[in-house]
Amino acid sequence: MATIAEKQVASWPRGKLADLRILAEHLMQDLAIGLLFGNDRERALPIAEMISKLAPAAWPAPTRHYLPAFMVAPKLERGILAWAEHKRGELNPTDIISIIANNPDENGNPPSRELIGGLVGFTFGAAYETCQNGLAWTLILLT
């Protein structure tokens, strides 16, 4: 984690204005990808970007973000399922999607599309979306 964070923070701009939300988002994405998905950045970054587009639709009050979320959700599901299919037969104990795609469900059947999409989307989103908000607020308050 420290290596990932040091590399990301070293790339932050010095001596000029920067959008802390964007910096925190990229840091948390890199940490989540490195720690949860075996550092599979090629396949994980497009999924992370779609999850970021969905996040505002999760706010408790209805907002204008619901329509874009409905448009992104099917693409997100297809992306996660294609990523899982790529991992089938390649069990990697440091990659959650590989573990989910290569292990049977509670009945001994291959994992369903719903299980894969739900677990990976929720885990990935929870791993970085909530953390990036906490980090951004921490940086703002420290500043």
Q: Tens digit of pLDDT for each residue in 78-93?
A: 999 999 999 999 899 9
Please report the pLDDT score of residue 87 as a whole number: 92
| Residues with Cβ within 8 Å of residue 24, at least 6 apart in sequence | 132, 133, 135, 136, 139
Q: Does the residue 28 lie in any domain?
A: yes
Can you list the residues of the chain whose pLDDT is less than 70? 58-62, 65
Please report the pLDDT score of residue 141 as a whole number: 85
Domain count, the chain: 1
Q: Does the residue 87 lie in any domain?
A: yes
DSSP sequence for 20-55: HHHHHHHHHHHHHHHHHBTT-HHHHHHHHHHHHHHG
Q: Does the residue 100 lie in any domain?
A: yes
Q: Does the residue 9 lie in any domain?
A: no
pTM for the model? 0.78
